[in-house]
Amino acid sequence: MLRLATPGRQRFVQSTALEATFGGGEANVAVSLANYGMEAEFVTRLPRNDIAEWCIAELRKYGVATGNIARGGSRVGIYYLETGAVFRPSKVVYDRAGSSLAEIGPGMIDWRRVFEGAVWFHWTGITPAVSQGAADACLEAVTVASQMGLTVSCDLNFRKNLWKYGKAAGEVMPALVEKCDVIIGNEEDAEKVFGIKPASFDAEHTGGEVDGAHFEEVCRQLSAKFPRARKIALTLRGSLSADHNTWGACLWSSDGFHVSRRYDITHIVDRVGGGDSFAAGLIYGLLTRDDRAALEWAVAASALKHTISGDFNLVSVTEVDALAAGNSSGRVSR
């Protein structure tokens, strides 16, 4: 997806140029994993035009394989971003109608070939939200991945301004999520998609802190609903203002329930892609360390994302390691 963001804190109506980068849930995860030195590939559908070539070159720049992208359809999806400040929220205007991905359908991608030699498949709830065809292609991919023995993870990623093709998230997502080994979401997704919310927590009350303890019950209910899932992780964002959030996460598995350290992110540079950077951090973490360490690593990685402009979390393993180890002083490195 092409991301067109107003410079600085400008409103759309003030702008004369838009910063052009690329992003989107799954692409963001792929870039993070490539950054961490893993082989990562992004599979999607793009038209045959220069904007698509530009997108592919950017992915390649960050080390992501692009050889299985299907080509066809008429446009690259866009999202417009106006970055907020203090009480003024950032605004995302989705512009995905008629995009090549929205017009994808089953059979357009040879998932068996794509998954050959792979060990993990990750998808997000944004894809099935775009169109029936995208939901169908996603189900096809999840099914093949599952059959071929890949670990399948998903990020629920509920977006109320998508889901406009006549079905609700709650109708479409269960069939997809039930094939997942790892489920990731934020503090609101489980409620918005499946109606599962903490008993004692008012999810609307976002101005204050978000206490991880309230979410063990949410994880348990998700686990009951989707028994295949071995791990369930939820990010916990406290929105004090557009510039200042708290950030943490919890991870439930059969071994227990962990709540991470909570970061106080006082001068946010860019919070879009925060959830994706957590998902990538968790995948990397689960492949390289134990559950608790993986959770802390994923939270550190995604806390760092808030200091990077653009969707992609351009940090190294060394940088995440340093923050996960407690070095948060921001002292100049020279």
Residue of 307, 329, 279 lying closest to 36 (CA atoms): 279
CB of 51 or CB of 317, closer to a copy of itself: 51
Residue 190 is encoded by which pair of tokens?
Answer: 């489980």
What sign does the CA torsion over 107, 109, 110, 112 have? negative
Measured from the CB of residue 202, what is the shortest distance to a copy of itself in angstroms?
13
Measured from the CB of residue 333, what is the shortest distance to a copy of itself in angstroms?
5
Measured from the CB of residue 141, what is the shortest distance to a copy of itself in angstroms?
24
Measured from the CB of residue 322, what is the shortest distance to a copy of itself in angstroms?
9
Beta bridge pairs of residue 250: 234, 259
CB of 39 or CB of 290, closer to a copy of itself: 39
Measured from the Cβ of residue 309, the count of other Cβ atoms closer than 10 Å reads: 14
Measured from the CB of residue 166, what is the shortest distance to a copy of itself in angstroms?
14
Whether 26 contacts 123, CB under 8 Å: yes
Q: Distance between CA atoms of 88 and 241, rounded to whole angstroms?
A: 8
CB of 180 or CB of 268, closer to a copy of itself: 268
CB of 221 or CB of 309, closer to a copy of itself: 309
CB of 60 or CB of 71, closer to a copy of itself: 60
CB of 75 or CB of 179, closer to a copy of itself: 75
Q: Distance between CA atoms of 145 and 113, rounded to whole angstroms?
A: 11
Measured from the CB of residue 323, what is the shortest distance to a copy of itself in angstroms?
5
Whether 274 contacts 302, CB under 8 Å: yes
Residue 237 is encoded by which pair of tokens?
Answer: 């964002």
Whether 108 contacts 70, CB under 8 Å: yes
Q: Distance between CA atoms of 180 and 178, rounded to whole angstroms?
A: 6
CB of 150 or CB of 299, closer to a copy of itself: 299
CB of 24 or CB of 150, closer to a copy of itself: 24
270 phi and psi angles, rounded to 5 deg: -165, 115
Identify the three-state secondary structure at position 183.
strand
DSSP H helical segments within 37-164, as ranges?
50-61, 111-115, 126-130, 132-147
Q: Give every CB contact of residue 318 below 8 A, 6+ residues apart in sequence.
A: none
Measured from the CB of residue 104, what is the shortest distance to a copy of itself in angstroms?
14
H/E stretch holding 155 reads: strand 151-155
Measured from the CB of residue 92, what is the shortest distance to a copy of itself in angstroms?
3
Residue reference for tokens 């999520």: 177
